[in-house]
Chain A
């Protein structure tokens, strides 16, 4: 492991994929409008839920907006990094080009998860950040160092969990070849992350914190923002994130043993 080499390679990846994405400039522009409309749509949906009720699952409208903000940031990160790269795994395996990746003198997981970048997700991240700043003002959250570090840690953990989930599902392609729609199933489950976990019934709550830890991804960081989160929840999230990252790494190395390249 030589971090400088990896940094240099990553800079090259950035350069090439940005260059190829910027070929389709109108596309990026349309994606920007899509991101804005999508945020407006989900706030509209939230306002329908709140139009006759002051709180849902113990969350007020202004507080639920924080979840929307965090969801939007994470969705932007997914669209910028995870989605373009990890859907590419399917292509690599179907066409047998994973051979070329494995032959390169660089870590295969690093290569596969960082090769591409989709700049149109950036706007979603910016939109989410703006919404969060607005929420901080509405909810009168006072910023101090411990708040900032805690929220930073939890969001980083959420990103790790999200990445591991995506990577996990994409790795299964080695056995099933076409899991393009499995990522679609994950996407539809992640949609739940837009709403506070407490607004669901008990059985779904268990499902979304044990099997697919969507609860950890958006609800805990939002609780940190409101200063409601207990320390055990935050440390639990850190542990979950570490467990997810290491198992997804192990799972990838395990799956590679079963990889028989195309036509062999």
Chain B
């Protein structure tokens, strides 16, 4: 009975958000296009033969950047911007009355957007293969499943980090600048612009202690068939989720106590 009602809640939330997202499909297509930076980076790498020194062949590197593009597409998180707007507009108060944590609403929004985004990402991938036919490959089912799981974990980690930042809205009202600050290391250290394998030793020595290489580098290496320790990697992803989730719970309960509705 209880599980039935939870199922219905999840289903309704997803359905509502999915129809909402379909309304904005042109925008989502534009978002998908704006994520093509990895392909420009690939162009620099292969055009200058920079990959010879890191022992990754042209084909493997192009697969890597294609996978990085895909992983990024399905792990984009913007909860802090939605939450900031809602809290500035005073929309959070009605959400708080409902017997459902508002972050479930945002989570459903993100997942619905990913479903809408999927066809556009596929179209971009088809174009990529037309221009680079030699890099075509089909990963086996086990790898595919593992990398989907790993991408989902990457999404959850980023969602939790951003939710924690979003909760700071209860104190500062404008939390998105903190998110922009956190985005810089995510951009440069996650492997979106250059594979972590190419980083100099003095960075490699500490980077695996941060969550960044597990956001894009790990799932992209896994999917593209480059060498990576995926068992350990997925384990560490789970560890980060286990660390971040209680932090989020704490800051959420502290924040809601602090919350004063607009106009009060």
Contact = CB atoms under 8 A, between A and B. Distances in A.
Interface of A: 24, 26-27, 30-31, 33-34, 37-38, 41-42, 44-45, 47-49, 51-53, 56-57, 176, 178, 180-182, 184-185, 187-188, 191-192, 195, 199-201, 204
B53 interface: yes
Interface in B37-58: 37, 40, 43-44, 47-50, 52-54
B69 to A, nearest CB: 12
13 contacts: A26-B172, A30-B177, A37-B185, A42-B188, A45-B193, A51-B53, A53-B48, A56-B48, A187-B34, A192-B40, A199-B48, A200-B43, A200-B44
Given A52-B53, A188-B34, A34 B40 contact: no
Nearest to B183: A34
Interface stretch (B22-30, B59-67, B89-97, B103-111): B22-30
Contacts of A53: 48-50, 53
Main secondary structure of the interface of A (DSSP, over half): helix
Interface string B181-196: 1001101100001100
Nearest to A52: B53
Contacts of B177: 27, 30-31, 34
B40 A48 contact: no
A57 B48 contact: yes
Contacts of A37: 181, 184-185
B30 A185 contact: yes
Interface in B1-51: 24, 26-27, 30-31, 33-37, 40, 43-44, 47-50
Contacts of B27: 178, 180-181
Contacts of A42: 188
Contacts of A44: 188, 203
B200 A48 contact: yes
B180 interface: yes
How many interface residues does chain B have, given as a range? 35 or more
A213 B119 CA distance: 30
Interface in B161-188: 172, 174, 177-178, 180-181, 184-185, 187-188
A48 B44 CA distance: 12
A176 B27 CA distance: 10
B180 A34 contact: yes
B198 interface: yes
Contacts of B137: none
Nearest to B31: A181
Contact of B37 (A26, A176, A182, A191): A191
A185 B40 contact: no
A38 to B, nearest CB: 5
Contacts of A176: 26
A200 B34 contact: no
A176 B24 CA distance: 11
Given A49-B48, A191-B37, A38 B30 contact: no
Given A34-B180, A178-B24, 20 more contacts: A31-B180, A48-B194, A48-B198, A48-B200, A49-B44, A51-B53, A53-B49, A56-B44, A56-B48, A56-B50, A181-B34, A184-B30, A184-B31, A185-B33, A199-B48, A200-B40, A200-B47, A201-B43, A201-B47, A204-B43
